[in-house]
Amino acid sequence: MLRKKLKGVVLLAVLSTPYSSAFATNGMNLEGYGAKSHALGGTGMAYDTGNSAVMNNPATLGMMEDGSSEIGIGIRGLHPDVNLDFSAMTSESDGGGYYMPSLSYMRRDGMISWGVAVLAQGGMGTEYGKNNPLFSYGIPMSGNGVVPMSWKEMRSEVGVGRLMFPIAYKLTENTTIGASVDFLWASMDLQMNMDGAHFGAMAMQGIGGKVSGSMFDMLGSMIYGGQVKDINAVRYDFSNDNAFLGEAVGYGTGFKLGITHKFSKLFAVGGSFHSQTWISDLETSKAVLSFAGVYGNGDTFAQDVSGTIKVRNFEWPATFAAGVALYPSDRWMIAADIKHLDWSSAMGKFSTSFTADNSLANGPFAGQKLDVDMTQDWEDQTIFSLGVQYRATDRLSLRGGASFSSSPVPDDYLNPMFPAITENHYTAGFGYRLTDRSSLAAAFAWAPGITATNQDCLEISHGQMNWSLNFTHEL
């Protein structure tokens, strides 16, 4: 029996982190925005991507026809396949479908193009359910033996959405600059066990993170005073049933800048800069922090502490991108982009601050505070994208592409709750003009499974099937 329990030990000390729900593709970023860009490998710096320019390069809005206005409606589906393997024990995430709507309006008047759009930018999440054998046992703070965990729901869901106001101005017939002011919301659900060994390693040795605060000081005094003999587990629990917004929510701003230049009918270039965001702490007053352990007399205890939790310093990273578009003939277009995401500046650690309510039910922890920093150390990510479009008829365009990158998540800090490790994507799709004013575009992407093993010898694999659909109508 002990051998079976040892095989079930999964160490969950490291939490990678973001909204309308989504699932990680390039880190937390989607591999392409808008069905056209999506089908063309995620490119979009130097050609007309339609209303989706607001998330690609706002300067390409200057490629709209003068005097035209367009409304766009879209839906994005992400279907991750996440599997865990630990010493011949396996588990699969039940989070198999995440859906994200988008809505936009764009218009060009002479030298100026402008509009408004709302969409989900990205995120990640998993669903492992209750009584999962891989999350059922852990090692206590003392390191002696194996202890049961909560056996409760294990899930995560984080995401970021944007409300954007873009504007583009044609400096010359061939050169356009653009910008976008963005308002963001970010949210998170989290139900996660952490065993006492990992909590103690962070608290006592600084391994994998840091623990501080008056609640930690009180726990320490209880342990050194003999009232508490051991800490078996710590659990975070804040979650809701909202399909579009998690329990802990924060709001913020960001901006984008872009430029395009057309050298000739055959060749165009473009580039953009997306700022790092400024988002408030993600906060909820409906959080529960649970402790399980052993009293000094040998009796076990479980203490649920209600309070307010803040996820601190969560930001979306700065992004630098540049690309080209080639037109070998009237029917062909070839696009290529390079994109750099500054994850290292935004995802160095996952920080939470929990303050217990001043209620009798919280016992000695009432009003106390626990700060936890969990190491992430994400690496910067460079993505190379390529797309090809063939205009088969006056109404139908066929598209294909690919993007190539490496995972930004270090193996040592890879958490099964946030396995954002997918790398390459292979894409295809089409655009079809339904009428003189209405168009439909669709894209499909396959991300082959990637497998990584974290420092706890847990093997995690993650692959995806994604799609997007956009309808546009000229007003």
Count the alpha carbons within 13 Å of 78 in the hemisphere toward its beta carbon: 34
- What per-residue confidence (pLDDT) applies to 371? 94
Does residue 154 or residue 8 have the better pLDDT? 154
Copy the structure tokens of residue 65. Answer: 């026809």
Residue 23 predicted with pLDDT over 60: no
Copy the structure tokens of residue 198. Answer: 């990992």
Identify residue 139 by its one-letter amino acid code.
I
Residue 232 predicted with pLDDT over 60: yes
Residue 154 DSSP one-character state: E
- What per-residue confidence (pLDDT) applies to 10? 33
Residue 9 predicted with pLDDT over 60: no
pLDDT per position as a tens digit, 55-111 = 999 999 999 999 999 999 999 998 988 888 888 788 888 877 888 889 999 999 999
The candidate with the shortest Cα–Cα distance to 186, out of 269, 241, 127, 253, is 253
- What per-residue confidence (pLDDT) applies to 108? 96
Residue 15 predicted with pLDDT over 70: no
pLDDT per position as a tens digit, 340-396 = 999 999 888 999 999 999 999 998 899 999 999 998 899 999 999 999 999 999 999
pLDDT band, residue 24 (cuts 50/70/90): low
C-alpha to C-alpha distance for 337 and 42, rounded to whole angstroms: 8
10 Å Cβ neighbour count for 392?
A: 12
Residue 297 DSSP one-character state: T
The candidate with the shortest Cα–Cα distance to 194, out of 226, 227, 152, 224, is 152
Domain total for the chain? 1
C-alpha to C-alpha distance for 442 and 38, rounded to whole angstroms: 9
- What is the share, in percent, of the chain residues with pLDDT greater than 90? 64
Is-contact 149 233, C-beta < 8 A? yes
C-alpha to C-alpha distance for 51 and 444, rounded to whole angstroms: 19
Residue 290 predicted with pLDDT over 90: yes
Q: Could you give the C-alpha distances from 46 to 126, 176, 200, 325, in angstroms and in order? A: 35, 11, 52, 6
Average pLDDT over residues 246-273: 96
Average pLDDT over residues 216-239: 90
Does residue 131 or residue 470 have the better pLDDT? 470
- Computed over every residue of the chain, the mean pLDDT equals 89
pLDDT band, residue 135 (cuts 50/70/90): confident
C-alpha to C-alpha distance for 221 and 204, rounded to whole angstroms: 13
Beta strands in 357-424 (DSSP E): 369-375, 381-391, 396-404
What is the domain range of residue 234? 2-474
C-alpha to C-alpha distance for 47 and 324, rounded to whole angstroms: 8
pLDDT per position as a tens digit, 170-226 = 999 999 999 999 999 999 999 999 999 999 999 888 988 999 999 999 888 888 888
The residues, ordered by sequence, that sit 6+ positions from 44 with a Cβ below 8 Å of its Cβ are: 32, 33, 34, 36, 37, 52, 53, 56, 57, 60, 323, 335, 337
- What per-residue confidence (pLDDT) applies to 20? 33
Identify residue 142 by its one-letter amino acid code.
S
Q: Could you give the C-alpha distances from 190 to 187, 295, 314, 379, in angstroms and in order? A: 10, 28, 15, 23
Burial of 329 (0-12, 13-18, 19+ CB in 10 A): exposed
Residue 323 predicted with pLDDT over 90: yes
CATH number, domain with residue 145: 2.40.160.60
Copy the structure tokens of residue 173. Answer: 């017939």
Backbone φ, ψ for residue 217 (5° rounding): -60, -40
Q: Could you give the C-alpha distances from 208 to 134, 136, 199, in angstroms and in order? A: 21, 21, 9
The candidate with the shortest Cα–Cα distance to 137, out of 27, 42, 9, is 9
Is-contact 161 188, C-beta < 8 A? no
Count the alpha carbons within 13 Å of 2 in the hemisphere toward its beta carbon: 4
Torsion sign across C-alpha atoms 366, 241, 254, 419: positive
